Amino acid sequence: MKHFIDKLWREHTLTAEEYRALLTCRDADTWAYLQHRAQKVTRSRFGNDVFIRGLIEISNRCRNNCYYCGIRSSNRSVARYALTLETILKCCREGYAAGFRTFVMQGGEDPAQTDEWVEATVASIRREFPDCAITLSLGEKSRETYERFFRAGANRYLLRHETHNETHYRRLHPAGMSSTHRLQCLQWLKEIGYQTGTGIMVGSPGQTVAHLVEDLQFIERFRPEMIGIGPFIPHRDTPFAGEAAGSADMTLRLISLFRLMHPDALIPSTTALATLVPDGRERGILAGANVVMPNLSPREQREKYALYDNKAAFGAEAAEGLKKLEERLRAIGYSISKERGDYKRSD
Ligand code: SAH
């Protein structure tokens, strides 16, 4: 198996059969070798720097009803909120003072936050923080809308494709949503000039090795600047309440594979991974991730943005816990970089 890992490291591509063989391998030495290789690549590309992004969860209202997500429209037990422009700017100011140079605005697809409103919000952040990157993660919009946000000053967009397989996509989403449309959105984002992020939940209900191979091959072709990989974690008020959570080990293996596939990519060690296992944050970094996204949302709203049960939002997961995060990263030989951390191609 090790020669497949070396091949991916050298050539950044494998056949479907080779990906499948790696994903189904049960040999601990192979996994240790994969992690070792991925860690070395990350180190040689980024040193011991880990980039930080301040995550602002701007609304938990959503018109969609994704079966996995805690803030889906039909969940009546969520106390809904949406942040005002002033509150968002306040979060950015706090974040800026703490050293953040990227703000990520994430939210449900809230019809009340109109294109005009988002555009004006992006423009305000752009004016007040000309040296910062603005990342959006607001779901599926029209090409024109993405263009407006880009012109207003947004630089990056996160839109996980969740699963490349249409049948599996339909297992996770109600009628009316499609993998085809999500992939179309990703194509637009890239064409417009956003640094574009995509990714998947690992272990989402119905996911097979064949689906993961499709996801690997899609991400290989698409060449996203950012790759978000986190375990699926059930939420009690969703149709997937009784499903098992995804595997932390499989999440870590995928992070390593993506690092070898795309050495320059910005790969977060995700909150879901940190929620699933206590040292998930560190293990993600050691597997080849190089970004963490502490929570900058107002503390009183944080528990309301519950995408899954027990989502971590305090301590080292929180922007105010940056010192704690720094200590934990230092303990494994890394440190926080306060650079903007834009995507740069090394070849
Ligand atoms: N509305 C935006 C933001 C979604 S939340 C959008 O559609 O892109 C960001 C990510 O959280 C999702 O893309 C999904 O991959 C992840 N997520 C949602 N529910 C989850 C769950 N139950 N377990 C793990 N991750 C989840």
* Domains assigned to the chain: 2-337 (3.20.20.70)
235 CB less than 6 Å from ligand 1? yes
Distance of CA 4 from the midpoint of ligand 1 (Å): 31
CA–CA dist 266, 263 (Å, integer): 9
CA–CA dist 48, 30 (Å, integer): 24
211 CB less than 6 Å from ligand 1? no
Residue nearest to atom 10 of ligand 1 (CA): 160
Give pLDDT, residue 116: 98
Distance of CA 313 from the midpoint of ligand 1 (Å): 15
272 CB less than 6 Å from ligand 1? yes
Helix, strand, coil distribution of the chain in percent, nearest 5: 45, 15, 40
Q: Is 136 exposed, middle or buried (0-12, 13-18, 19+ CB in 10 A)?
A: buried
Give pLDDT, residue 319: 79
Give pLDDT, residue 83: 98
Q: Which residues, given as ranges, of the chain have pLDDT below 70?
A: none
pTM of structure: 0.98
106 CB less than 6 Å from ligand 1? yes
Alpha helix stretches (DSSP H) within the chain: 2-11, 16-24, 28-46, 85-98, 115-128, 143-152, 166-172, 179-192, 209-222, 248-261, 271-276, 280-286, 322-331
Give pLDDT, residue 318: 87
Give pLDDT, residue 320: 83
Q: Side chain identity at 76, as an amino acid letter?
A: R
Pocket test of ligand 1: the residue of 110, 160, 277 to mutate, having most ligand atoms within 8 Å of its CB, is 160
Give pLDDT, residue 317: 83
- The DSSP secondary-structure symbol of 112 reads T
Give pLDDT, residue 167: 98
| Each residue's pLDDT tens digit, 8-67 | 999 999 999 999 999 999 999 999 999 999 999 999 999 999 999 999 999 999 999 999
